[in-house]
Amino acid sequence: MSKEADNYLNEILDKISKFGFSFLTKAEKEFLDAYSKQDSDKMSKIQTEQVSRKFHSSDFKFAFTLINIERCSGDDILYHGELLVPDFKSENGKIIKGILNGHIWSLNGTNIPIFEKDGYDILDFCDGLEYELDLFLDYVVLTINDEKTDL
């Protein structure tokens, strides 16, 4: 097996150790199956697809790249990643690129964006687009959760 496959396997095993088997995505379970059968082609395909999980809004105002998922206490989940939003013009006229790192905090079914850059939070960047942002984040979380439970 390749070093990359072994590294990905270790990431999955760490995730199982930390959160349990039921928290794995469908792709991660498929990778484990392919690994057990030593199917390098299938493993490589799955790894390539998982490297960057990108989501785009239909109007292309927003994009989210999932980096990882972290389960907190109870049903709280953090979806860590990079969020692309419209650029922001600060009070002094400086344009700040709308590339923000942070997470979507899923708390009791509510998705809360926790992203900031240069002292400004996501709502500064999305002033007037809050509804569209909420819909997009709901889409991202629902899609990820559907993949997680689609066995």
Q: What is the pLDDT of residue 25?
A: 72
Rounded CA-CA distance 85/149 in Å is 29
SS3 133: helix
Residue 150: pLDDT over 60: no
User: Does 78 have pLDDT greater than 60?
Assistant: yes
Tell me: pLDDT of 124 over 90: yes
Return the domain boundaries, the chain: 3-51, 53-149
User: How is 22-46 classified by DSSP, letter by letter?
Assistant: GGS-HHHHHHHHHHHTT-HHHHHHH
Among 7-16, 46-55, 58-67, 106-115, which is the least confidently predicted range? 46-55
- pTM strictly above 0.85: no
Report the 10 Å Cβ neighbour count for 98. Answer: 20
How many angstroms separate the first and last alpha carbons of the chain?
26
What are the φ and ψ backbone dihedral angles of 108, each rounded to 5 degrees?
50, 45
Please give the pLDDT value at position 151: 36
Across all residues in the chain, what is the average pLDDT?
Answer: 86
Is the model's pLDDT at 52 over the cut of 60? no
Higher-confidence residue: 112 or 148? Answer: 112
